[in-house]
Amino acid sequence: MTQKSALVLFSGGQDSTICLAYALRKFDRVETIGFYYGQRHDVEMQCRETVRDAIRREFPEWGNKLAEDHVCDLSVLGDISETSLTRDRPIETEVGGLPSTFVPGRNLMFITLAAAVAWRRGIATLIGGMCETDYSGYPDCRRSTLDAQELTLRRGMDFPFVIDTPLMWLDKAETWDFAQELGGTKLVNLVVEETHTCYKGDRSHRHEWGYGCGTCPACELRAKGYQTWRQQVPA
Ligand code: ZN
The CA 61 to ligand 1 mean position distance, Å, reads 33
pLDDT at 155 (0 to 100) = 98
Q: Going from the N-terminus, what domains does the chain have, and what CATH number goes with each?
A: 2-196 (3.40.50.620)
The CA 219 to ligand 1 mean position distance, Å, reads 4
Q: Specify which residues 162 forms β-bridges with.
A: 125
**Which tens digits make up the pLDDT trace of 173-214?**
999 999 999 999 999 999 999 999 898 889 999 999 999 999
**Which tens digits make up the pLDDT trace of 66-87?**
999 999 988 887 777 665 556 6
The CA 199 to ligand 1 mean position distance, Å, reads 5
Integer Cα distance of 229 and 172 in angstroms: 8
The CA 165 to ligand 1 mean position distance, Å, reads 24
The CA 44 to ligand 1 mean position distance, Å, reads 12
Query: Which regions of the chain are under pLDDT 70?
Result: 1-2, 38-41, 81-102, 134-136, 234-235
Q: Specify which residues 99 forms β-bridges with.
A: 93
